[in-house]
Amino acid sequence: QVQLVESGGGLVQAGGSLRLSCAASGRTFSSVAMGWFRQAPGKERELVAAIGRSDSNTVYADSEKGRFTISRDNARNTLYLQMNNLKPEDTAVYYCAAAPQIPIATMTWQYDYWGQGTQVTVSS
């Protein structure tokens, strides 16, 4: 079992920045691939970024490349998402997720554990 708790969401103006955190517990964090997803009203949940068991292996959705950075601190059991130059279309609930079974995962069905989500709202 893995428990995940996101924090750091909020309201920000376009062009601003936020850093999301995801605190993990229940399993050796360094052995688990992690990801950030988001879901806007009326839309499907989509990948934002994924990171392998070590932080040298990362994947980003095309719309986030160059603006968002995923990272992990295995000593603190924490996953991060640094979001810069935010746009109104980034508004969504952001979820962190854990995939214990594979080295890195980009699809929702590959993830076994999910946090409760944190709201990010970007005003224009």
pLDDT at 55: 67
Angle 96-100-72 from CA coordinates, rounded to 5°? 50
Report whether pLDDT(102) > 70.
yes
Task: Assess contact for 97 and 6: CB atoms under 8 A.
Answer: no
Q: What pLDDT does 76 receive? A: 94
Give tens-digit pLDDT for 29-60.
Answer: 888 999 999 999 999 999 999 999 876 799 99
What pLDDT band is residue 93 in, cutting at 50, 70 and 90? very high
Residue 27, pLDDT > 80, answer no
